[in-house]
Structure 1
Amino acid sequence: MASVILKGIPVSAGVSIGKAFFLNRSGQGPVPRQALAPELVTPELDRLGRAFGQFREELTQVRDRIPAELREHAHIIDSHLMILDDPKLQGAAAGYIRDLGINAEWALDKAVADLQRAFEALDNPYFRDRIQDVRMVSDRVQSRLAGQTGDIKAVQNRVVLMADDLSPADTAAIEVDKIMSLVTAQGGKTSHTGILARTLGIPAVIGVNNLEEHVRDGNLVVVDGLQGTVLVEPDEDELAKYTDLKYQFEAYHASIMRGCHLPGETIDGYRVKVKANIELLEEVAAVIDNGGEGIGLYRTEYSYMNRRVLPTEEELTEEYLDLASIMAPKRVTLRTLDAGADKFISLLGNPEERNPALGLRAIRLCMHHKDLFMTQLRAILRASVVGNVSVMFPMISGLREIRQAMSMLRAAQSELKQQGLPFDAEMPIGIMMELPSAVMIAEVLAREVDFFSIGTNDLIQYSLGIDRTNRYVSHMYQPLHPAVVRSIKHVVDAAHQAGIEVSLCGEMASDPFCVPILMGMQIDAISLNPQAIPGIKRIIRQATMDDCKNLLKEVLESTTVSRTNRLVQETIFKKFPDELMFYSSLLDQEEGVTV
């Protein structure tokens, strides 16, 4: 048996077996603490500035020579450069040196601790992950203060790269053909390491407790990116097991990739469009590579995060034009700013809300900041000249919000027309169906728009009164709850009766236990994580509509979650045993999927 089995978060699927190479170990001893004589304060400020400047120069050089495989992620390095320039870090550390007369290492440590307390007070998952970026930058500056420059160039052979955490600069500086997989002690689901690993197509496990304590350079390790485990010095039986699993997964992945560019069409000819959900322009390559038939959801709010100033109309127009042009003629659906709740934009202030999930977010936030909304609407309209752009308004609760948004869109059209700027006057307009109130009046709302997109993540949360991030009640977050299934069917039926298309862009779209049920409802399109597209497409292509409709009928007759789950599991496992060998573990990587 392996000497140690460690558990973490799987963020990129696959299995690798190789020798460990540890980069940037955090265990460098306690931060030195010294009181300075008054005459040493100015030299210490200079030393702090030099360390920041040295790391800034190194980051800039790395960004300029970033490998082709990672060039699309250069913006991540830019975000670290922004942290380096943020006065709340270097400026705060300098203030401690001046005011307390302490050494640079101690001052920087105190500045980071202040930021961490401030971020944790926001109780925001996005910012809890972003503090890791601040600590990463701080650690690299601390290394420069200690006269260290890092050992990234020491990677000579193919290795399993391990680290307390990997900065974008670290990852960009390595030769990617020498890395079998990535493992880090730090990080959450939104960490850059996962994005980079998926881009490179290598397994990755992050957030591994006690990683540095149990792994040494040269240890033979197994990285299981399906279950999120790391085996240190596995025995012969475990090596045989994971070698077999590695080959099985690679064969399965090769098989689904061969068919990923085929249409999502059942054996008996029912066509389902399979599109992608993305939040960054650089993810377009993954959409194309995995056979995405368009962008069903582009989360535009990520263009507003980690910035010193709000994006301009020109910046947004260029971003949306690039996206539309690359994907043309396939359709791109831009969801207008869905900020608030767990997606906080510091530049808009931080309103005191006892329950932000029910507060100033999404379309409500846009109506509160009309200038901001108008800038985005103008940019979307200007990008629509490509001819494949749709716009979608989130968190619509009733007619009033649709008509307010439409009124502003018409005002934006009028302004552009007066300025002689072209746009697509026939650009399709849709809404997110994610609130119970919208579901109940779906027939009314369908007369106002060109399409619906069902956002099941929020629909389930609001329908069942469940916070899926709350460990005490997250087990009650059930996609196949009878109320959820009937709500979705009601929306699909209302859309089709009105002659408009309906898609679904929540996590249910990537859940093989749910997709056949959605097909039984005759949903027009689903939109999901790009990496999940090939497997879901193969499930669709192996199904028949008769089977899907029969399963839907049984599910609708079920009155309990437990019975529905048992029924669906038995049916799907019989029909798709090979697919679910891997999907049953991959589903754990998706938030909100509990079957």
Structure 2
Amino acid sequence: MLKGIAASDGIAIGEAFVYKKAEIKAEKHIVDDPIREEQRFDDALDTARKQLEDIYEQVKSEMGDDKAEIFETHLFILNDPEFLGSVRHKIQKEKLNAEYALMSSAEELAEIFKNMGNEYMSQRADDILDVSKRVLSILTGNKNFSLSEISNQCIIVAHDLAPSDTAQLNRKKVSGIITETGGRTSHSAIIARSMEIPAVLGVDSATSSIKNGDFLIVDGYEGIVHINPEEAILKKYEAKREKDLENKRLLLRYRDVESITLDGKKVEINANAGGIEDIEQILKFGPDGIGLYRTEFLYMAEDKLPTEEEQFRVYKTVLEKMDGKPVIIRTLDIGGDKNLPALNIEAEVNPFLGYRAIRLCLDRIDIFKTQLRALLRASAYGNLKVMFPMITNIHELRKAKDILEECKAELKNEGLKFDENLEVGIMIEVPSAALISDILAKEADFFSIGTNDLMQYTLAVDRMNQKVSYLYDFFDPAVLRLIKMTIDNAHKMRKHVGMCGEMAGYLPLIPVLLGMGLDEFSMNPSSIISVRRLIADLKYEDCKLLADNVLQMTSSDEIKNYISSIEIPVFKK
């Protein structure tokens, strides 16, 4: 048995296919005809662009715009004048062969990005190397096996899966995924969840411990992999898988029902969205609304800032598609792990503690007002609520609201309509905001708890750093106490509290969060029906007692053991 990170729920049973990419080396040599060599490079670039455009369209149609964004980044790299200029210089001036010129330039640029010391730039370094290897394989004629070509039912075992690998999986043939790297928030995990493929990531020595043809069980709930299991273990998991399949059939009953507990407590189950393209898919799961609509992708898609009119059209379309259901749109949340090409933000030593989110908007009021005006204009076409990210003190909230009032006055003078009663909320995602949530609740219309950042800042842990990722723990008492404090302080002022981080769709903690009094859960759309079904099986009064007991406990292990011992349907899978 091997242990890893439970990255995508489900049980997979089948034979292993160990996927190892051939390492293509870029040998260095001098060429006689640099012009012809540059033409070889240009031809390879054209082929790579066409491949990526095809992948982009496939992912966009099957999984949505936010999942396809990574391939836009790859295309951007293949059109970057600085990167391409370095390659061409090596070919033209140094008379190096295209293969070596390409990879030496890619490695130099990737090294610069890795040394910038933040997660976003480190990911860009990986993107540069990934896309360069694609071009290299075209130049050398070494075509790597594509996972789309798999013809037999199998479980993929790999050191790592690049986004292009995962996106091209034949979901009819691949029943599970195991990798040696990655975690619950990695590209592979997100795409696996979208495809509903069970996945266990971060499994040390998986490719050396598992051989082609080994019979495997992948437990995506517990993060466990069984290799050639005994009959008793196999029967246990076959029964568990059958129960899973039956549960999925039962879940269809809960698509359009209200989210109410057995004793009458009603909550909202909403979806997180990253673009207009997500809305059709989201509506298939019957959400009560959108609890988080991310706007940063509007800004990151091109090398220029979106205009007020461009933004207005997008927000208006989203509201119309949601047909009166509430839509919480978060204002620009750039910085930290997300960069904005049009702003050319300088690299920072600690970007997650730096110039990001509301801080950037309050500094660049021109950008902020453009977005706020677009949002206000769109509010006339649906049930819009606006939310400010990363508020750390009352001054930021007041200043942001003052700028919003300025925009309202401008629109009134221009004779443009907007919702005069527009609700304005904030994200609680830093400990300072949770600690003064009693103060903030007096001036915000609602809260949404962003657990991804709240955990990162509270526990001082980089969730993408595998050496410390074990500290990134949903069950940590400090995080749970901050959540309870936030909910209580908001409710004293009769304010609504939602949650839009990963924790909101994490089934084992739903009863605890419900018992704490959380009003709204916003999550990946594919989790909506599972959460709704669970809530329908719970009693609110039981959950309150459960939450009270959890908040008295001293460690995450104690909390996990206690919760797993309770008679809750989710633990009977």
Please indicate the TM-score interval, normalised by the length of the shorter structure.
Answer: 0.7 to 0.9
Structure 1 partner of 2:12: 16
Q: CA deviation at 1:192?
A: 4.2
Retained in 2: the 8 A contact 1:51–1:145? yes
| C-alpha distance after superposition, 1:536-559 (max 9, x if no partner) | 333322222322333344455x3x
Change (3 A) 1:462 1:313: same
5 Å matches for 1:321-360? 321-351=316-346, 353-360=348-355
Residue 48 (structure 2) aligned to one of 55, 60, 67 = 55
Counterpart CA distance in 2 for 1:411 and 1:204 is 49
CA distance in 2, matches of 1:485, 1:15: 29
Partner residue in 2 for 1:539: 534
Compared CA separation, residues 233 and 50, structure 1 to 2 (3 A): farther
Closer, same or farther: CA 131–477 of 1 in aligned 2, 3 Å: closer
Distance 1:66 1:513 in 2: 30
Cα distance in 2 for partners of 1:403, 1:251 equals 51
Residues 95 and 415 of structure 1, relative CA distance in 2, 3 Å threshold = farther
Q: Distance in 1 between matches of 2:220 and 2:540?
A: 33
Equivalent residue number for residue 43 of structure 1: 36
Higher alpha-carbon deviation: 99-108 or 512-521: 512-521
Q: What is the CA-CA distance between 1:133 and the residue it aligns to?
A: 3.0
Matching residue of 2:500: 505
Deviations 1:154-190 (A, max 9, x none): 4445454566766666666676544444556666655
Question: Given the superposition, is the C-alpha separation of residues 238 and 548 from structure 1 closer, same or farther in structure 2, using an over 3 Å criterion?
Answer: closer
CA distance in 2: counterparts of 1:546 and 1:63, whole angstroms? 48
- Please point out which of 363, 377, 380 is paired with 1:382: 377
Aligned residues: 571
Matches within 5 A, 1:67-466: 69-70=62-63, 72=65, 74-149=68-143, 152=146, 154-160=149-155, 176-182=171-177, 189-205=184-200, 221-228=216-223, 239-285=234-280, 287-305=282-300, 307-351=302-346, 353-463=348-458
Tell me if structure 2 keeps the 8 A contact 1:13–1:202.
Answer: yes
| Aligned residue among 574, 580, 587 for 2:571 | 580
TM-score normalised over the length of structure 1: 0.82
1:527 to 522, 530, 539: 522
| One of 532, 554, 566 as aligned partner of 1:561 | 554
**8 Å contact from structure 2 (residues 177, 199) kept in 1:** yes
Structure 1 range deviating more: 368-377 or 355-364: 355-364
Q: Deviations over 1:489-508 (max 9, x none)?
A: 44333333333222233444
Q: Tell me the distance in 2 between the aligned counterparts of 1:263 and 1:492.
A: 22
Contact residue 17 and residue 156 of structure 2 kept, 8 A: yes
For the residues of structure 1 that align with 2:23 and 2:221, how far apart are their CA atoms? 32
CA drift at 1:224: 4.1
Match of 1:591 in 2: none
The amino acid of 2:337's aligned partner reads: D
Change (3 A) 1:125 1:246: farther
The residue aligned with 1:587 is none
Residues 19-50 of structure 1 show CA distances to partners (whole Å, capped at 9, x for unaligned) of 55677x52244x1423214x322211111111
SS of the residue corresponding to residue 293 of structure 2 reads strand
Contact 2:149–2:170 (CA<8 Å) still a contact in 1? Answer: no
| Partner Cα separation in structure 2 for residue 163 and residue 572 of structure 1 | 31
CA displacement, residues 500-525 of structure 1 (integer Å, 9 cap, x when unaligned): 22223344433455433433343322
Query: CA separation of 1:36/1:354 partners in 2, compared to 1, >3 Å: closer, same or farther?
Result: closer
Contact 1:129 1:188 in 2 (8 A): no
Task: Determine the C-alpha separation between the residues in 2 that align with 1:139 and 1:263.
Answer: 49
Determine what percentage of the aligned residue pairs are the same residue.
39
Instruction: Kindly indicate whether the alpha-carbon contact (under 8 Å) linking 2:182 and 2:201 is maintained by their aligned counterparts in 1.
Output: yes
2:7–2:183 Cα contact (<8 Å) kept: no
Quickly say closer, same or farther: Cα 1:194–1:540, change in 2 above 3 A: same
The secondary structure found in structure 2 opposite 1:574 is coil
Q: What TM-score do the two structures reach when normalised by structure 2? A: 0.85
Structure 2, unaligned runs of 5 or more: none
User: What is the letter of the counterpart of residue 562 of structure 2?
Assistant: E
Residues 321 and 124 (structure 1), Cα distance of their counterparts in 2 relative to 1, 3 Å cut:
farther
Q: Is the 8 A contact 1:132 1:186 kept in 2?
A: no
Moved more, 154-163 or 497-506: 154-163
The farther-off stretch of 185-194 and 528-537 is 185-194
Name the stretch that deviates more: 318-327 or 333-342: 318-327
Deviations 1:38-83 (A, max 9, x none): x322211111111111222333455567795357555544333222
Q: Aligned-pair distance for 1:308? A: 2.9
For residues 180 and 431 of structure 2, the distance between their equivalents in structure 1, rounded to whole angstroms, comes to 40
- 1:98-140 residue CA offsets vs partner (Å, 9 max, x unmatched): 3432211111111221232122112322333343333332222
Give the C-alpha shift of residue 86 in structure 1.
Answer: 1.8
**Which secondary structure does the structure 2 equivalent of 1:520 belong to?**
helix
Partner of 1:570: 562
Q: Label 1:302 to 1:149 Cα distance change in 2 as closer, same or farther (>3 A).
A: same
Aligned letter for 2:567? K
Partner-residue secondary structure (3-state), 1:276: strand
1:494 counterpart residue number: 489
- State whether residues 320 and 382 of structure 2, in contact with CA within 8 Å, keep that contact through their aligned partners in structure 1: no
In structure 2, what is the equivalent of residue 592 of structure 1?
none
CA shift digits 1:210-234 (9 cap, x unpaired):
6666777766554443345566666
Distance 1:71 1:485 in 2: 32
- Is the Cα contact below 8 Å between 1:129 and 1:190 reproduced in 2? no
Change over 3 Å in CA distance of 1:453–1:105 after alignment to 2: same
**Matched residue SS, 2:390:** coil
- In structure 1, give the amino acid aligned to 2:50: E
What is the CA RMSD across the aligned residues, in angstroms?
A: 3.7
Structure 2 vs 1, CA of residues 434 and 165 (structure 1 numbering), >3 Å: closer, same or farther? closer
Per-residue deviation at 1:270? Answer: 1.0
**Gaps (5+ residues) in structure 1?**
583-595
Choose 404-413 or 89-98, whichever is displaced more: 89-98
Aligned-partner Cα distance in 2 for 1:468–1:192:
14
- In the TM superposition, what is the alpha-carbon distance from 1:269 to its structure 2 partner? 0.5
Give the 3 Å change call, closer, same or farther, for CA 194–318 of structure 1 in structure 2. farther
**Amino acid of the structure 2 residue aligned with 1:119:** F
Query: Cα gap change, 1:213/1:318 in structure 2, threshold over 3 Å: closer, same or farther?
Result: farther
Look up the match of 1:588. Answer: none
